[in-house]
């Protein structure tokens, strides 16, 4: 089978930074409380005139530049997001298509919680592998902070906005070595936005009760996330015939430093191989992993042939893992 990998990658982070000390002025919280429980020191918030498609488009153009491609070279755009520009339609991917001038591309959104970019990239690879498309843009983009209750000290401090994008296409060497996707809908109530959909349409009552904001059972989300880091990683390594010692970089979803440390402890991978960006960017949901991947790429830390294991988990509940041999 032909090899499919990442031809180019890019990310965009808003320039508005909110530190924990800024949060102290807004909520009943403290820098110490946030740091010790989450590992977060600051996060990015989109500017008032920025929406998810703006962040996605900027990340996409950077990925195209890195791949030495033009927007019209893209055949398909997939946007993994939980904070689309519009509630139901049009798809944010369609808006991105217009903003970057990718006039030849089909476009759709994919919603899989914080696992959105891994799901989207897995789908992108299948399209390229089948021969249906040559170049696919897989984007994880969020203005997730607008989905949070500004008065909820437990959720508002966790999240940040951002976008990461990758051009997926055929490569002569390296490429993706495996995928693992998982979902357990019986746990969906632990992380959700109850109002606004067909189950509980928008109404004065929904707004008054703040049911249009994210609700989370932190204890249950923690348990699921720690379990999935090790479970998904071990499955994908076994499928690829590799061990954890073969991995050069491990990129977990940046949800909470305590989750990462607990999951990594079960997995047995040294922390110096683990990419940590949550301290600077908070939990950027579906953007988390591509943003983190681009961080180490831009710093020149990834070498050709490096094996990179990426694992995510999120609302649904969903989880997913990808194994990539770097080919750039």
DSSP labels, 36-98: HHH--SEEEE--TT--HHHHHHHHHHHHHHHHT--GGG--EEEEE-SS-SSSSSS-HHHHHHH
Asked whether residue 243 falls in the same domain as residue 262, the answer is: yes
Task: Give yes or no: residues 118 and 131 share one domain.
Answer: yes
Considering the domain architecture, whether residues 45 and 139 belong to the same structural domain is answered as: yes
pLDDT at 48: 96
Domain total in the chain: 2
Same domain flag for 142 and 224: no
Residue with tokens 């009943």: 28
pLDDT tens figures, 124-133: 999 999 999 9
Q: For residue range 63-115, what is the model confidence (pLDDT) as tens digits?
A: 999 999 999 999 999 999 999 999 889 999 999 999 999 999 999 999 999 99
Single out the residue in 173, 200, 235 at which a domain terminates.
Answer: 173
Sorted by sequence, the CB contacts under 8 Å of residue 211 that are 6+ apart come out as: 193, 194, 195, 196, 200, 205
Query: Which sequence positions are flagged as catalytic?
Result: 114, 253, 283
220 and 139, same structural domain?
no
Residue 78's domain spans which residues?
4-173
Asked whether residue 154 falls in the same domain as residue 205, the answer is no
Beta pairing, strands 76-80 & 106-110: parallel
CB 141 within 8 A of CB 287: yes
Mean pLDDT of the residues in the chain: 97
Contact present, 168 and 136 (Cβ < 8 Å): yes
User: Among 142, 173, 204, which residue terminates a domain?
Assistant: 173
Convert the pLDDT of each residue in 16-57 to its tens digit.
999 999 999 999 999 999 999 999 999 999 999 999 999 999
Q: Which of 129, 152, 173 is the last residue of a domain?
A: 173
Q: Are residues 231 and 317 in the same domain?
A: yes
Same domain, 147 and 189: no
Q: What pLDDT, on the 0 to 100 scale, is given for residue 1?
A: 52
CATH at 281: 3.40.47.10
| Mutual angle of helices 257-267 and 218-240, in 10-degree steps | 40
What's the burial of 291, exposed, middle or buried (CB within 10 Å: 0-12/13-18/19+)? buried
Residue with tokens 């008032």: 48
Looking at the structure, tell me whether residues 186 and 161 fall in a common domain: no
pTM: 0.96
Same domain as 230, residue 312 = yes
Residues 21 and 158 in one domain: yes
Band (2; pLDDT cuts 50, 70, 90)? confident
Residue 165: name the closest of 185, 136, 139, 147 by CA.
139
**Do 82 and 286 contact (CB within 8 A), yes or no?**
yes
What is the percent of the chain with per-residue pLDDT over 90, rounded to a whole number? 98
Please give the share of the chain, as a percent, with pLDDT higher than 70.
Answer: 100
Convert the pLDDT of each residue in 162-216 to its tens digit: 999 999 999 999 999 999 999 999 999 999 999 999 999 999 999 999 999 999 9
């Amino acid at each position: 089978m032909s090899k499919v990998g990442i031809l180019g990658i890019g990310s965009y982070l808003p320039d508005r930074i909110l530190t924990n000390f800024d949060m102290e002025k807004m909520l009943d919280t403290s820098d110490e409380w946030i740091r010790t429980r989450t590992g977060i020191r600051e996060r990015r918030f989109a500017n008032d005139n920025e929406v998810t498609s703006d962040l996605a488009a900027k990340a996409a153009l950077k990925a195209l530049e890195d791949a030495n491609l033009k927007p019209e070279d893209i055949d398909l755009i997939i946007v993994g997001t939980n904070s689309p520009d519009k509630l139901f339609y049009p798809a944010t991917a369609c808006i991105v298509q217009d903003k970057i001038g990718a006039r030849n591309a089909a476009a759709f959104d994919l919603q899989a919680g914080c696992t959105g970019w891994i799901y989207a990239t897995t789908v992108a690879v299948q399209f390229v592998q089948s021969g249906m498309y040559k170049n696919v843009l897989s984007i994880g983009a969020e203005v997730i902070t607008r989905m949070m209750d500004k008065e909820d000290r437990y959720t508002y401090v966790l999240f940040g906005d951002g976008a990461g994008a990758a051009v997926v296409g055929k490569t002569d060497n390296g490429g993706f070595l495996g995928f693992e996707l998982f979902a357990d809908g019986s746990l969906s109530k632990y992380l959700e936005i109850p109002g606004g959909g067909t189950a509980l349409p928008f109404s004065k009552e929904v707004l008054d009760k703040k049911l249009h904001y994210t609700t989370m059972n932190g204890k249950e989300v923690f348990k699921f996330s720690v379990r999935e880091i090790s479970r998904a990683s071990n499955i994908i390594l076994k499928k690829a015939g590799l061990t954890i010692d073969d991995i050069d970089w491990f990129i977990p979803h940046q949800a909470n430093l305590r989750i990462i440390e607990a999951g990594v402890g079960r997995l047995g991978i040294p922390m110096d191989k683990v990419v940590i960006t949550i301290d600077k960017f908070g939990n950027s949901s579906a953007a988390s992993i591509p943003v983190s991947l681009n961080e180490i790429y831009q710093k020149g830390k990834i070498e050709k042939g490096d094996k990179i294991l990426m694992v995510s988990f999120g609302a649904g509940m969903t989880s997913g893992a990808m194994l990539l041999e770097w080919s750039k």
